[in-house]
Amino acid sequence: MTGPTYPPPPQPGSNAIGSFIIGQSPVGDISPTSAELYFQTIISQYANSATLVQLIRNFWECIDQTQNLERFFDLIWNVDTAVGYGLDVWGRIVGVSRVIQVQFDETYFGFQESSPDGQPFGQAPFFLNSPLTENFALPDSSFRLLIFAKALANISDGSIRSINQLLLNLFPNRGNCYVTDGLDMTMAYTFEFALTAVERSILAQTGVLPKPVGVSADIVIL
């Protein structure tokens, strides 16, 4: 009687850790060989039956959930790669909506005789048409940033350091933005760059910027 056999240990200097071969063994994904697991259900005397093997293979392909599980992980479970409905689910989890109300600038080119608020050439755009709704749906890239920022706000301790980190995450590579304590039950979020109408609506409506109870907060744009 012979004992069980084991794979030979890696040789000194070999590019392996135990049975894991660096650069070859799969990491973080379902092994492609899982598609052949149905062979474990076939006893040896039927292994050469082409018809039976094909029937079992077809059945396995119908019930195999490998691809569905991978798509679920990539499109819904993983926030970094989730899109569409997956991000909407995460938005409900952290408590933020993709759709916000935006007040757009209604200043257009015109003449004072017909439009007292009209602006001259080079100062305002031509009037195209009034928007049918003020609701604006954030694209996936912007909504993903908002989800991460709201998640950080949910666990924030309310300190200046924590809020400053939240601002940097919400407005990456935009310039300086920070929070200051007025020491009189007031605080100010200061931005040294221009904010779009959508960004101003995000700050005003989503609750992504923490504010202690009883403290008034202002948004200052330098």
pLDDT digits (tens, 9 = 90+) for 26-70: 444 544 455 467 777 788 788 788 888 888 888 887 887 878 888
Q: Check: CB of residue 112 under 8 Å from CB of residue 118.
A: yes
**Average model confidence (pLDDT) for the chain?**
76
Q: Check: CB of residue 189 under 8 Å from CB of residue 217.
A: yes
Task: Determine which helix (DSSP H) or strand (DSSP E) holds 56, and give its type and residue range.
Answer: helix 50-63
Rounded to an integer, what distance in angstroms lies between the CA atom of residue 149 and that of residue 160? 15
Query: What pLDDT score was predicted for residue 113?
Result: 46
Token pair, residue 85, equals: 């409905």
The residues that bridge with 82 in the sheet, in sequence order, are: none
Query: pLDDT-derived band of residue 104, with 50, 70 and 90 as boundaries?
Result: low
Query: What pLDDT score was predicted for residue 21?
Result: 63
Is residue 99 helix, strand or coil?
A: strand
Per-residue pLDDT reduced to its tens digit, 126-176: 555 555 457 888 889 889 988 988 888 888 888 888 888 888 888 888 888
Is residue 52 helix, strand or coil?
A: helix
| Mean pLDDT value across residues 211-215 | 82
φ, ψ of residue 139 to 5 degrees: the values are -65, 165
User: HEC states along 172-186?
Assistant: CCCCCEEEEECCCCE
Token pair, residue 30, equals: 């379902």
Order of all β-strands in the sheet with 177-181:
177-181, 186-191, 216-221
| Dihedral angle over CA of 55, 57, 59, 61, nearest 10 | -150
Residue 88 has pLDDT above 90, yes or no: yes
